[in-house]
Structure 1
Amino acid sequence: NDAGVAVKDIEVAYVANAVGQQLTELKGTIGQHVLTSAGFFGLPVINVENACTGGSTSLRGAYMEVASGNADVALAVGVEKLFCGDSAKSAQTMAAGTIYAKFGFMFVALYALQLKKWMASSGATKLHFAKVAAKNKYNGSLNPYAQFQKAMTVEQILESRVVAEPLTQFMCSTMADGAAAAIVCSSDIAKKISKKQPVQIAACELVSGTYNIPGEVHEEITTRAALKAYEKAGIGPEDVQVVEVHDAMSPAELRMYEELHLCKPGEAGMMIDEGHTTLTGRLPVNPSGGLAAKGHPISATGLAQVYEVVTQMRGEAGKRQITNNPKVGLVENAGGWTMDDNAACAVTILKK
Structure 2
Amino acid sequence: MGKAYVIGVGSTKFDKPRGQREYDELGVEAAVKALIDAGITYDQVESAAAGYVYGDSTCGQRVLYQLGMTGIPIVNVNNNCSTGSSAFVLAVQAVAAGQADCALAVGFERMAPGSLGSAYKDRLPPMEGTHRQLVELENKQNYPTKETGPGAGRIFGAGGLEYCEKYGATPEHMYKISAKNHRHSVKNPYSQFRFEPTWQEVAGARKITRELTLPMCSPTSDGGAAAVVASEAFVKKHGLEDRAVEVAGWALTTDAPVLYNAKSRIELTGADMARRASKKAYAMAGVGPEDIQVIELHDCFAPNELLTYDALGLSKPGEAHHIVDRNDNTYGGKWVVNPSGGLESKGHPLGATGLGMIFYLTLQVRGEAGDLQVPNVRNALQHNLGLGGACVVSILRKPEFWKKGSTSQDRYGYNVANEVRGITKADLNKVRAKQHSDYVPVKVADQARL
> Secondary structure, in 3 states, of the residue corresponding to 1:156?
helix
Runs (5+) with no aligned partner, structure 2: 1-35, 136-148, 399-450
Q: 1:42 aligns with which of 45, 48, 71?
A: 71
Return the alpha-carbon distance in structure 1 between the equivalents of residues 393 and 219 of structure 2.
Answer: 23
SS at match of 2:228: strand
Give the Cα separation in 2 of the matches to 1:257 and 1:105. Answer: 24
- Give the Å deviation of 1:180: 0.6
* Offset at residue 275 of structure 1 (A): 1.4
Q: Show structure 1 runs of 5+ residues with no match.
A: 22-27, 338-342
- Report whether the alignment pairs 1:117 with 2:162: yes
The 2-side partners of 1:88 and 1:66 are apart by 38
The residue identity in structure 2 corresponding to 1:228 is K
Q: What does the per-residue CA deviation read over 1:136-168, in whole Å, with 9 as the maximum and x for residues that have no partner?
A: 001111111111111211121111011112211
Equivalent runs, 1:72-83 vs 2, <5 Å: 72-83=101-112
Match in the other structure for 2:97:
68
Deviations 1:189-215 (A, max 9, x none): 223432733110112211111344547
Does 2:302 correspond to 1:257?
no
TM-score under structure 2 length normalisation: 0.70
The superposition leaves residues 114-146 of structure 1 with CA deviations (integer Å, 9 ceiling, x where unpaired) of 111111123221111111111100111111111
Contact 1:97 1:336 in 2 (8 A): no
Q: What is the Cα-based RMSD across aligned positions, in Å?
A: 2.4
**Structure-2 residue corresponding to 1:335:** 386
Cα-to-partner distance string for 1:192-240 (whole Å, 9 max, x where unaligned):
4327331101122111113445479987111011111111112222211
Give SS of 2:94's match: helix
SS in 2 for 1:148: coil
The sequence identity of aligned pairs, in percent, is: 38
Aligned equivalents of 2:328 and 2:263: distance in 1? Answer: 35
Residue-by-residue CA offset, 1:50-93 (whole Å, 9 max, x unaligned): 1111111111111111111111000011111103xxx4696344
Correspondence 1:344 to 2:395: no
Correspondence list, 1:88-167, <5 A: 91-93=117-119, 96=125, 98-99=127-128, 106-167=151-212
Task: Tell me the residue number matched to 1:298.
Answer: 350
Q: Residues 93 and 204 from structure 1, CA distance in 2 versus in 1: closer, same or farther, beyond 3 angstroms?
A: farther
Structure 2 residue 290 is matched with structure 1 residue 238: yes
Decide whether the 8 Å contact of 2:115 with 2:220 is kept in 1: no
Partner deviation per Cα, 1:85-116 (whole Å, 9 max, x = no partner): xx469634499553167998611111111111
Structure 1, 74-83 or 260-269: larger mean CA deviation: 260-269
CA distance change for structure 1 residues 214 and 179 in 2, over 3 Å: closer, same or farther? closer
TM norm structure 1: 0.89
Counterpart position of 1:25: none
Equivalent residue in structure 1 for 2:366, among 314, 329, 340: 314
Give the 3 Å change call, closer, same or farther, for CA 44–250 of structure 1 in structure 2: same
Aligned length, in residue pairs? 337
2: CA distance, partners of 1:89 / 1:175? 7
SS at match of 1:59: helix
Between 138-147 and 210-219, the greater mean CA deviation after superposition: 210-219
Q: 1:144 to 1:192 in 2, by over 3 A?
A: farther
User: 1:263–1:101: structure 2 CA closer, same or farther, 3 Å change rule?
Assistant: closer
Contact kept? 1:14, 1:77, Cα under 8 Å: yes
